[in-house]
Amino acid sequence: MKKEMKCKVIPVNVNAPFSKNLFGIFLESIGTCIYGGLMVDPDSELPQLCGMRLDILDALKKLKISIVRLPGGDYTDNYHWQDGIGDVEQRPVHWNGNWKQQDPNRFGTHEFIALCEYLGAEPHFVTNLGTGSVEEARAWVEYCNLPAGTKYADMRVKNGRKDPFGVKYWAVGNEPFNRGGLMQPEYYAYLYRNYAYFMRLMDPNIELVMGGVFNEPEGWNEKALEIICNEWRPPVPEHMSVHAYIHGVPKTDYTPEEYYQVLLNLENGRRQLYQNVETCKKYSKNGTQIRLSIDEYAAWHGVARDPHLFTPMSMLDAIVAARMLQYTAMMGDAVSMLCASVGINALLSLIMTKGDAMSLTPAYYAYLLMSEHIGGEIYGLEAEEELLKIGNDKEVPFVTSCVTKHEDKVVVSLVNASLSEDVDVMITLEELLGKGRKKGQITRLEAEDVHDENKPGEPEKVIPSREEVVISDQKTAWVLKKHSICILEVKI
Ligand code: AHR
């Protein structure tokens, strides 16, 4: 049976446009994310840039990826940046104990910056608190951001780069409460102050990201922020990092109940993010707003196991990604970035590779569709609220939406999470559109079966399709298929 959804555009209280910084990715040397994924084998004939596969770079560029975070993740606390500079042939091979593999260090600071510059994205480095030092972190800022004339800046010039890289985002540690050192908040806070002070001495314009906790243990963030922000000359961070991992499905052939449970977990995660934002607000002082840096997120499925975290990507992941983008956009400027973790061949992969073959996952296409919202002023859709019941008493939204108004177009995104019901959508765009007939386009991402994947080397099963629509008297109607995402774009 088909449901009906009659809705109209309404103003909402979101204090910032749909941010490009929600289109970030996190890369880490896990499994084949970097080596065997992003980086070509040394003797490969694939077109490349500084050892990176150009087909991957071009696919990421289409998504308007705005921030790339490196080197971890957990690996950060074993990573020494000086191993990854200079002659590639001379770089030491390091044991990546976190993910149980060798790191040949062929993808280092210069290659990473080349990637960011190719994409037009901001680099985001995470410093090593576990086995590194304040001096190592301070020197990295000097290497990246100072003009020639000092020890580390001159080293950069010697390695082929005259102008500073101008790296803006610097995180002080990764998950310090967890595998980043199992630190008590008080201990981390004092370490943070020390790192932050000396890193900022190198470049006062960098933005610092403190490590925070998404949902436990209780009170960790507040205790750390209390010390960081309330003591003498607080080095207030511009961002607090949280890793929004949503508990996923236990197996690839998940049941409807397991599928809906993930969407319910996402709703709980959304509430948790609002709490994280409240904590940030409470400690935003002395003119610095602390914003939430959701620099890792994914639905973490049961099949994603150490050490490689490889995870098949189905329509469920596309739906989670599209909703996460909608939800974080609605949080306005309280969220400074959102990074898909890990963007290639692990967890929330946007791209997968197998040898020379590559595929774009359903989540990739969700990002592609949602990128049409970037920069637009955010509106809401008012509809009769329809909820999916899960079990006896739990509910998740049936259809979620976002509307943006741009100089030349209006964009509406809709995500139908139902596994069984298509929806007859009727939208009135009223104040956003002048009267008369307008031309529009609907782009749909649909899958015959919600479990469908796009596998490298096989024809892609889940790909967007596009059709023209006419909007008369500010109204339009179409069928939104079960477990699908769609975007309506109307030129104004
Ligand atoms: O992305 C995999 C791991 O998950 C990261 O290394 C860590 O930060 C997180 O817990």
77 C-beta closer than 6 A to ligand 1? no
According to DSSP, the β-strands at 465-471 and 409-416 are: unpaired
CA of 427 to the centre of ligand 1 (A): 40
Joined together, the tokens standing for residue 66 give 């705005």
446 C-beta closer than 6 A to ligand 1? no
Does the pTM surpass 0.85? The reply is yes
342 C-beta closer than 6 A to ligand 1? yes
CA distances from 458 to 13, 349, 462 (A): 45, 17, 12
Nearest by Cα to 484 from 398, 396, 361: 398
Contact 247, 300 (CB under 8 A): yes
Q: Is the peptide bond before 342 cis (omega within 30 degrees of 0)?
A: yes
According to DSSP, the β-strands at 67-70 and 24-26 are: parallel
Q: Is the peptide bond before 104 cis (omega within 30 degrees of 0)?
A: no
Contact 99, 31 (CB under 8 A): yes
Joined together, the tokens standing for residue 135 give 């001096």
Q: Is 210 exposed, middle or buried (0-12, 13-18, 19+ CB in 10 A)?
A: buried
Q: How many Å apart are CA 89 and CA 86, to the nearest integer?
A: 9
Instruction: Give, for ligand 1, the residue of 25, 70, 341, 344 to mutate: max count of ligand atoms closer than 8 Å to Cβ.
Output: 341
What tens-digit pLDDT sequence spans the chain (492 residues)? 578 888 989 999 999 999 999 999 999 999 999 999 999 988 889 999 999 999 999 999 999 999 999 999 999 999 999 999 999 999 999 999 999 999 999 999 999 999 999 999 999 999 999 999 999 999 999 999 999 999 999 999 999 999 999 999 999 999 999 998 899 999 999 999 999 999 999 999 999 999 999 987 679 999 999 999 987 777 899 999 999 999 999 999 999 999 999 999 999 999 999 999 999 999 997 788 999 999 999 999 999 987 899 999 999 999 999 999 999 999 999 999 999 999 999 999 999 999 999 999 999 999 999 999 999 999 999 886 667 777 667 788 889 999 999 999 999 999 999 999 999 999 988 778 877 888 899 999 999 999 999 999 999 999 999 999 988 878 888 899 999 999 999 998
Instruction: Give, for ligand 1, the residue of 69, 178, 296, 349 to mutate: max count of ligand atoms closer than 8 Å to Cβ.
Output: 296
